[in-house]
Amino acid sequence: MVRRTVSGLAAFAAALGFAVALPASPAVAADCATAWSSSSVYTNGMVASHNGHNWQAKWWTQGETPGTTGEWGVWADQGTCTGGGGGNPDPDPSGFVVSEAQFNQMFPNRNSFYTYSGLTAAMSAYPAFANTGSDTVKKQEAAAFLANVSHETGGLVHIVEQNTANYPHYCDAGQPYGCPAGQAAYYGRGPIQLSWNFNYKAAGDALGIDLLGNPWRVEQDAAVAWKTGLWYWNTQSGPGTMTGHNAMVNQAGFGHSIRSINGSLECDGGNPAQVQSRVDNYTRFTQVLGVPTGGNLYC
């Protein structure tokens, strides 16, 4: 028995005067254009990729996320895409909901000390961080943490507190363990600017690191620095009523995370410009991650 291929059958049938319908070739997704950026300006006809689709702008737009186009529909969906200019990268293999490309987009001028790998390595100390609830809630928590971090460090630029006059102020000599590294050793360091000897003691005890005796590790080791930030975010309520982690996973709102970090100085009208800076960061980062901000942004 002779076995003929589809193309062979088509030729055979054509020779006999018959028409044969060949199966359609599967559609091939287009290459992804350059990933959409909330800070970029797009005009009529420009294309950007977001969440695995290419999108074409119908007119001037900035900061309006493709796929959540609102009443006027500035973005036209051009269909699925793959590879090409990169589109929206998949999350890091560590499981973090923020990809390295998105992290770099959030912090284009960051100090090289604040590595993405340092952050993802530090997350093992607090596995519930950005890993609790729905995908939207996970991304909102990541955006909230990074928004506060951005405010504290000038966009991940500063590793240590810039006002050196504050340095001796952070030693509470009344604590039984005192200030073994020196009176001026406990100034703000790291992504949430850990300060005061009692905070270095508590963070070090929780992380199994002697930060009371060697607070300089926070400005020398990126993973340690990130761990101190995650320690505060996940375990400390500060002047607030809940931790930043609980504020986001329980949907209390971004404003409560501000209160837990610096509420005594900024909230309730204390410094509205500082609060606005944090909210602006959070709004921008949720746009990068393609999720809504949720309510209760202010404190």
The question of whether 152 is a catalytic residue gets the answer yes
Please state whether beta strands 75-82 and 47-50 pair in parallel, antiparallel, or not at all (unpaired).
unpaired
CA dihedral 59, 62, 64, 70 (to 10 degrees): -40
Query: Residue ranges of the alpha helices (H) in the chain?
Result: 6-15, 100-106, 116-122, 135-153, 197-207, 217-220, 222-235, 244-249, 254-266, 272-289
Residue whose pair of structure tokens reads 């009692």 in the numeric block: 198
Locate 43 and state its tokens: 């005009």
Q: Which of 113, 86, 111, 112 is nearest to 101 (CA)?
A: 86
| DSSP per-residue codes, 15-67 | HTT---PPPPPPP-PEEP-SBP-TTSEE-TT-EEEETTEEEEESS-EES--TT
Element of type H or E holding 78: strand 75-82
Catalytic option among 64, 100, 141, 152: 152
Contact 72/56 with Cβ under 8 angstroms?
no
Beta bridge partners of 35: 49
Please state, in angstroms and rounded to a whole number, the distance separating the CA atoms of residues 296 and 276. Answer: 13
> Could you give the residue numbers annotated as active site?
152
